[in-house]
Structure 1
Amino acid sequence: MSRGFSTRLFNICITSLCKASKLERAEAIIIDGIRLGYIPDVVTYNTLIAAYCRFVGVDAAYSVLYRMKEAGIKPNVITYNTLISGATRDCLPTRSLDLFEEMLQVGICPDAWSYNTLMHCFFKSGRPEEAYMIFLDMISRDLSPSSTTYNTIINGLCKTGNTGYALRLFRNLDGHGFHPETVTYNTLIDGLCKSGRLGQARRILKELGESGHAPNIITYTTVMKCCFRSGKFKQGLEIFTELKSKGYACDTFVYCTVISALSKLGRIREANAYIDEMERVGIRLDIVAYNTLINAYCKEGKLDIAFQLLNEIEKSGLQGDEYTHTILVDGLCKMGDIDAAIRHVQYMEMSGFGSSLVASNSLIHGLCNVGQVDSAITLFNGLQWKDSFTYSSLLHGLCKVRRYRTAFRIMLACVRDGIRVLTSARRAVLDGLRSSRFYREEKKLKSAIHMAKSLRC
């Protein structure tokens, strides 16, 4: 057996272990392989670096780079691209840039993937100006932008609230020698929809149909969701009708989106008709679809239908998950049926779902809304895990019954422990202290908040 062939098999083995997140085993195999004469190459270490980036973190992945150099194996552009991707996944723009500069220092020329990943990292971190500077640097190095480059920039601009700039870039793509693809249109349409520019999104959809590229199921679904979210239910249903008339195969997500919208309109008969249609075309409702429907009915206060769906889940052989029951708890709380919500939380615990933080947060919020603040405090104190919503819900509840000093003590502890609460909760506590003339407590809390901000900076 040749050494080259042996190394390929060796790398396949390492790749399989890394995909299964068995990194310690992969490390052991590398050591054993070296003893048996299987010499690792750059592919071996790149595979290991990618796995560490994915399952552990970029710091652990970077430590592999030292061992790689000690073994006499030079890193290549893929090595650094993988590390930059890892830093991007963790939203570490400074670290990404440091890795990029290190790559240049060791004489490795970045490729389009390097720049695309780096730009994505800065866009993801909310720093579009720096992302655009990276794009200009790419151009200055005579690297031709790819479709991924432009799609990354348009997506990044949209997600950082610069949809107008994204639209202008889109209009000038032909001047850059790039003809937009369907994915480019979809990216822009999604950005326009999320920024509330539905009319513009529909115009781009029309342009896509005239461009020679066919809209796909993602295009239509994006616009349809935007219509429903904006309260343009008639337009959303028209998009759905057009989608079906063009012969696109609607999946579970599309049907559930429409059923959810019809439920909000109170058009239950039509919603049920589409559920029946899903069954006729062979689409079996999965737990995600059921959760979508249950959530829609709970938001409309139709808890009887939501619980009927829960029974249907059990009859169909599926099992409701933690999210299913959490939706129901939240629905019961919003309807003011706190006793039923408490019983359902107890049912969750007895059924092996454990204690759901989201369900507990809903219950705390519900207890506060009906004036049972002491019960909410008892539940709060008994929770092993708490997040910002847990604290915020209790703080709002305490302020609602004018227990500002208790709210002050909890808020002060949050600030000192580095626990962030919603801005509205913090404002409610400060306003309450001021209106009740607890000026000393207000001053002390403001001082603590100011100090905490200074330390974070």
Structure 2
Amino acid sequence: MQRIKNKLSTRLMNVCVASLCKAKQLEKAEGVIVDGIGIGLQPDVVTYNTLIAAYCRFVGIDVGYSIIHRMKNAGINPDIITYNSLIAGAARYCLLSKCPDLFDEMFEMSILLDIWSYNTLMNCFFKLGKPDEGYRVFQDILLRDVSVHSATFNILINGRGKDARRFLNELVESGHIPNAITCTTVMKCCFRYRQFEEGFKIFAEMRSKGYTYDAFAYCTVASLLLKTGRITEANEYLGYIITSGFSLNIVSFNTIFNLYCKEGQLDNAYQLLYEAEKGGLESDKYTHAILIDGLCRIGNLQEAQQQLNRMSETGFDSNLVAWNSFINGLCKAGHLDYATQIFESMDVKDSVTYSTIVRGLYKARRFRAASKLLLSCIRGGMKILKSDKRIVIDGLRSCGLTHEARKVQSKIRLAKLLHY
């Protein structure tokens, strides 16, 4: 009965330690353990694993690793969870070279690796530029008959890079049937290395074999088709997303809508918006911002301003992204005075708003005005782009205003010291 009571008390102590660790109150968590030992409670492997995970997450792997000595002094052996926490911490702090050493310790202590241990080790070898070692880890997984997770294949495919398609074929030949997630990863790998045709081919093959893809996969393919000028095929895939019963929320819709607007396909964008609203999907302020940006890209500033007015009339909050797009469109079209007028009337501005006007003034060779605006941005507590500072200083120097350029540079440095 006393043993059961002690076990329940240790479990309660572990709950307290876990709660404090989650709240980053590590000193208090340590205090709970000390107090528990003081009244006769013995920490177990769960207690120490909780501490190790917290130290590795919030402090560093060295502190986390030091807990192992306390475990051994208390007669408690580390387990797979102990080492997986340390390995995850090493990966988090980019100390990948420590991972092989931790695995060596696991082998010496006869701790059996699980799939997550193997995945982390394999990923470390690839990131360290040792693909052959990473591939040997994968072979060890197969030889030891460890249950393979889809993440295993994804790590291996990303490590193999340009050989992604060949790996997919090897996978099928070895009797491992890839799922939709694996195939999508292979496809994205091909796109990353600009092997567009190969990526499209993989997608088409898997689709013909009945693989079920989500809306994200179709959006990925459609985006690349639009960027490579294959508009008809892109429309086909985007149309399929709408008509095939995918659960399309406003975030997914805005993603597709943005693809059309960025590529200047405004007619298709309006048609898509009509179809979506007819189906009961309500547009939000981001939908309108995307449309305004698309209109500005093609130079239709009149319609863009009308759309801004509609946003106000329909009760949407002022959208800074939309106004920034409109100001940028005005500057590019040479309507700098109007852009400046709108800028001055805005209650809310961000660093993008300032940067847009600064660059507009620079292009109009109004360098003094640009420098004053840049300084007001910094004094307002906003960060500026290094390129904005450079073009303003260079602009002043190009006009022979070298002394003034130095003064502006000093003022910028002083303003940064006062406000950052």
Asked if Structure 1 and Structure 2 have the same fold, meaning a TM-score greater than 0.5 normalized by the shorter chain, the answer is yes
Moved more, 353-362 or 137-146: 137-146
The equivalent residue for 1:430 is 393
Deviations along 1:399-447, one digit per CA (max 9) or x if unpaired, are 2222222332343455567744344333323332332233234334555
Deviations along 1:159-215, one digit per CA (max 9) or x if unpaired, are xxx5x715343234268x4448642331243466xxxx5x33333333333343322
TM-score, normalising length: structure 2: 0.75
Structure 2 vs 1, CA of residues 448 and 281 (structure 1 numbering), >3 Å: closer, same or farther?
same
Shift of 1:298: 0.9
Task: Give the match's secondary structure for 2:36.
Answer: coil
Could you tell me whether the CA contact under 8 Å between 2:296 and 2:329 is conserved in 1? yes
Aligned counterparts, 1:154-169, within 5 A: 155=123, 162=127, 165=129, 167-169=131-133
The equivalent residue for 1:315 is 278
Deviations along 1:287-332, one digit per CA (max 9) or x if unpaired, are 3332232112112211122122222222111112333222112111
Deviations along 1:83-114, one digit per CA (max 9) or x if unpaired, are 24653xxxxxxx33475266457558681232
Of the candidates 79, 83, 95, which is equivalent to residue 112 of structure 1? 83
Of the candidates 237, 246, 270, which is equivalent to residue 209 of structure 2? 246
Letter aligned with residue 201 of structure 1: A
Distance in structure 1 (CA, Å) of the matches to 2:350 and 2:122: 34
Q: What root-mean-square deviation, in Å, do the aligned CA atoms of Structure 1 and Structure 2 show?
A: 4.1
The equivalent residue for 1:373 is 336
Could you tell me whether the CA contact under 8 Å between 1:116 and 1:148 is conserved in 2? no
2:157 pairs with 1:189: yes
Structure 2 vs 1, CA of residues 296 and 404 (structure 1 numbering), >3 Å: closer, same or farther?
same
Shift of 1:395: 2.8
Structure 2 vs 1, CA of residues 301 and 417 (structure 1 numbering), >3 Å: closer, same or farther?
same
Of the candidates 92, 105, 117, which is equivalent to residue 121 of structure 1? 92
Distance in structure 2 (CA, Å) of the matches to 1:157 and 1:399: 48
Shift of 1:62: 3.7
The equivalent residue for 2:50 is 79
Could you tell me whether the CA contact under 8 Å between 1:112 and 1:146 is conserved in 2? no
Aligned counterparts, 1:300-379, within 5 A: 300-379=263-342
The equivalent residue for 1:15 is none
Could you tell me whether the CA contact under 8 Å between 2:358 and 2:388 is conserved in 1? yes
The equivalent residue for 1:28 is none
Structure 2 vs 1, CA of residues 226 and 133 (structure 1 numbering), >3 Å: closer, same or farther?
closer
TM-score, normalising length: structure 1: 0.70
Aligned counterparts, 1:292-307, within 5 A: 292-307=255-270
Task: Give the match's secondary structure for 2:206.
Answer: helix
Distance in structure 1 (CA, Å) of the matches to 2:318 and 2:22: 32
Distance in structure 1 (CA, Å) of the matches to 2:380 and 2:69: 41
The equivalent residue for 1:151 is 119
Letter aligned with residue 401 of structure 2: F
Moved more, 363-372 or 241-250: 363-372
Aligned counterparts, 1:1-400, within 5 A: 41-46=12-17, 48-49=19-20, 52=23, 58=24, 61-62=25-26, 65=29, 68-69=32-33, 72=36, 76-84=47-55, 87=58, 95-97=59-61, 99-100=63-64, 103=67, 107=71, 111-123=82-94, 130-133=95-98, 135-137=100-102, 139-140=104-105, 142=108, 146-152=114-120, 155=123, 162=127, 165=129, 167-173=131-137, 177-179=140-142, 182-190=150-158, 197=161, 199-228=162-191, 232-265=195-228, 267-275=230-238, 277-278=240-241, 281-381=244-344, 386-400=349-363
The equivalent residue for 1:126 is none
Letter aligned with residue 307 of structure 2: H
Shift of 1:153: 5.3
Give the structure with higher Rg (CA).
Answer: 2
Distance in structure 1 (CA, Å) of the matches to 2:189 and 2:292: 28
Structure 2 vs 1, CA of residues 398 and 211 (structure 1 numbering), >3 Å: closer, same or farther?
farther
Could you tell me whether the CA contact under 8 Å between 2:297 and 2:329 is conserved in 1? yes
Q: Report runs of 4+ in structure 1 exceeding 6 Å deviation.
A: 448-455
Letter aligned with residue 355 of structure 2: S
Structure 2 vs 1, CA of residues 206 and 283 (structure 1 numbering), >3 Å: closer, same or farther?
same
Moved more, 222-231 or 101-110: 101-110
Distance in structure 2 (CA, Å) of the matches to 1:406 and 1:97: 51
Distance in structure 2 (CA, Å) of the matches to 1:378 and 1:51: 50
Moved more, 405-414 or 66-75: 66-75
Distance in structure 2 (CA, Å) of the matches to 1:375 and 1:155: 53
Task: Give the match's secondary structure for 1:365.
Answer: helix
Moved more, 97-106 or 304-313: 97-106
Give the % identical residues. 38
Letter aligned with residue 12 of structure 2: D
The equivalent residue for 2:75 is none
Moved more, 409-418 or 229-238: 409-418
Distance in structure 2 (CA, Å) of the matches to 1:233 and 1:274: 16
Structure 2 vs 1, CA of residues 100 and 417 (structure 1 numbering), >3 Å: closer, same or farther?
farther
Structure 2 vs 1, CA of residues 450 and 276 (structure 1 numbering), >3 Å: closer, same or farther?
closer
Letter aligned with residue 407 of structure 1: A
Letter aligned with residue 83 of structure 1: A
Could you tell me whether the CA contact under 8 Å between 2:125 and 2:134 is conserved in 1? no
How many residues are matched? 394
